[in-house]
């Protein structure tokens, strides 16, 4: 066996997983429990090369994903990419990337990494609203997130931006509108929606228990996604590729999120959301509407 990253996006389910760093150098986002028990480390090049050699014998995949959360800080990432390219001849290499890191790094290095076949960067934008970003302790401003996304696009990367639905609490409308504004400036290739599911061990969980935070309720969350989609005017793919976006009744799943190409599918997506809202309102009145927070607490879903 070899050491592989503990987390990867669903779109990388069939990728070779290579761990370049361990943990997250920031590790303070109020909603995130991913690397709470992991001290951030830049892995030695020799260890990564040994893992690549083992992975080469195990995998027959044509795509490669790099973990953990902020790999572009690795000073020898160019050599890692050379080694991966030689071992797998992959169609794409993708990585999580912290916006702060990309916003501050020289454009030349970013371009070199792209030339070394690093293809796609997955950024956690979470929100384009300054107040929400402050509240969740994201450690970036909307301007930094926009600068990072635009720089990555300029360097030739495919950019994937994650948005957390429901993280704004009562501020859901500002969260939706300002997130759309940020995304319209970045023009990412992919927007991926995740609905806030509050997990134990996080600051948000503690705040929720103290009554200091309440996730946006399901009906308002659907309205939030409607406001987001209405305000998006860039060409992009929208995905809801995560179970956190689902809504359930006693009979099973009633909504599994929306997706499609924008702007072409905008009207269709908005109609689907309006339909979901009508069903959800009906179920909510009888107390039979469940979201990922209910299902996670009852042990029916894993995140």
Residues in touch with ligand SF4 (CB under 6 A): 24, 26-29, 32, 34-35, 69, 98, 124
CB of 295 to ligand SF4, least distance (A): 21
Give me 282's structure tokens.
């009906």
For residues 58 and 69, give the distance between their C-alpha atoms in angstroms, rounded to a whole number.
24
Rounded CA-CA distance 68/297 in Å is: 26
**Least distance in angstroms from the C-beta of 103 to ligand SF4:** 13
Give whichever of 29 and 183 is closer to ligand SF4, judged by the CB atom: 29
Nearer to ligand SF4, 21 or 217 (CB): 21
Closer of 124 and 168 to ligand SF4 (Cβ): 124
**What pairing do the DSSP bridges indicate for beta strands 190-195 and 252-255?**
unpaired
Cβ-based nearer residue to ligand SF4, 148 or 283: 148
CA-based nearest residue to 118, from 127, 130, 109: 109
CB closer to ligand SF4 out of 167 and 232? 167
Q: How far is the CB of 136 from ligand SF4 (least distance, A)?
A: 9
Q: Could you give the C-alpha distances from 50 to 83, 230, 296, in angstroms and in order?
A: 10, 48, 37
Give DSSP secondary structure letters for 169-216. GGGHHHHHHHHHHHHHHH--SEEEEEE----TTSHHHHHHHTTS--PP
Minimal distance, residue 96 CB to ligand SF4, in Å? 7
| Cβ-contact 272, 168 below 8 angstroms | no
Q: Shortest Cβ distance from residue 72 to ligand SF4 (Å)?
A: 13
Question: Hey, CA dihedral for 130, 133, 136, 137, is it positive or negative?
Answer: negative
Alpha helices of 44-127 — where are they, by DSSP H?
45-58, 77-88, 99-104, 107-115
Nearer to ligand SF4, 104 or 275 (CB): 104
- Distance of closest approach, residue 151 Cβ to ligand SF4, in angstroms: 18
């Amino acid at each position: 066996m070899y050491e592989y990253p503990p987390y990867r996006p669903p779109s990388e389910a069939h990728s070779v997983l290579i761990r370049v760093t361990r943990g997250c150098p920031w590790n303070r986002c109020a909603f995130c429990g991913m690397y709470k028990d992991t001290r951030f480390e830049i892995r030695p090049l020799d260890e990564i090369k040994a893992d690549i050699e083992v992975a080469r014998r195990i995998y027959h995949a044509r795509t490669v994903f790099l973990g953990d959360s902020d790999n572009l800080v690795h000073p020898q990432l160019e050599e890692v990419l050379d080694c991966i390219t030689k071992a797998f001849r992959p169609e794409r290499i993708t990585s999580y990337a912290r916006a702060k890191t990309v916003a501050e790094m020289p454009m030349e290095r970013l371009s070199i990494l792209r030339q070394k076949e690093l293809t796609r960067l997955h950024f956690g934008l979470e929100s384009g609203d300054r107040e929400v970003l402050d509240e969740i302790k994201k450690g970036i401003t909307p301007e930094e997130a926009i600068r990072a996304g635009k720089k990555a696009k300029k360097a030739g990367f495919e950019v994937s931006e994650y948005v957390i639905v429901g993280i704004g609490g009562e501020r859901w409308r500002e969260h939706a509108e300002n997130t759309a504004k940020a995304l319209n400036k970045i023009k990412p290739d992919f927007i991926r929606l995740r609905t806030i599911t509050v997990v134990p061990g996080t600051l948000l969980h503690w705040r929720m228990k103290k009554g200091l935070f309440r996730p946006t309720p399901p009906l308002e969350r659907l309205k939030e996604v409607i406001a987001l989609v209405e305000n998006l005017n860039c060409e992009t793919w929208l995905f809801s590729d995560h179970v956190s976006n689902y809504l359930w009744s006693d009979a099973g799943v009633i909504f599994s999120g929306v997706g499609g190409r924008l702007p072409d599918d905008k009207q269709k997506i908005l109609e689907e959301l309006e339909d979901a809202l009508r069903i959800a309102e009906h179920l909510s009145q009888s107390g039979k509407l469940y979201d990922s927070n209910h299902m996670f607490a009852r042990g029916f879903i894993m995140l």
